[in-house]
Amino acid sequence: GLVIDGRTLNIIFQGGLEEQFLALTKHCRSVLCCRSTPLQKSMVVKLVRRKLKVMTLSIGDGANDVSMIQAADVGIGISGQEGMQAVMASDFAISRFKHLKKLLLVHGHWCYARLAKMVIYFFYKNVSYVNLLFWYQFFCGFSGSTMIDYWQMIFFNLFFTSMPPLLFGVLDRDVSAETLLSLPKLYKNGQ
């Protein structure tokens, strides 16, 4: 791991040493920036996103972490003694740092699996509807007349096709939470 302070980050950004800094951080499993300004934190996140072209995640618990959370692809705010500014600016909010493992490994895996299945479902739903309209045009001589009234289409989408997304969102869990926490490598398999 690498622990770097604000003064060193200032030297890196003013001296044009970003490439050397990134080369050093590639050899580390984690990099911690301490005693740095909010601008420096967001600059580090933007540097990593721009140069390495990777997805970034920022975690913060106070107002000084807001710019870093907003600069990242995924921002996680921890509610606590520092206030609620980081939580309000984040994509996800947790009450304690220890809940991060469950958020990423369990809920992240389930969300990824649900989204993958729902994309397939929406393609199926729309293709079947378009095929119905396509074959109807052969019977009406390509006159452009509508087969289904707009109100019927709205109610079809509202009542008959809204149930599978709700069921997937609530009930679909391919692997139990205990298994996902004990085997973190399962998170990578979903990708």
- Domains, the chain, ordered by start: 2-95 (3.40.50.1000), 100-190 (no CATH)
Sign (positive/negative) of CA torsion 165, 169, 171, 177?
A: positive
Does the reported pTM lie above 0.75? Answer: no
Q: What is the pLDDT of residues 24-43, one digit of tens each?
A: 988 988 888 888 999 999 99
pLDDT band at 155 (very low <50, low <70, confident <90, very high): confident
| Distance, CA of 125 to CA of 160 (rounded, Å) | 11
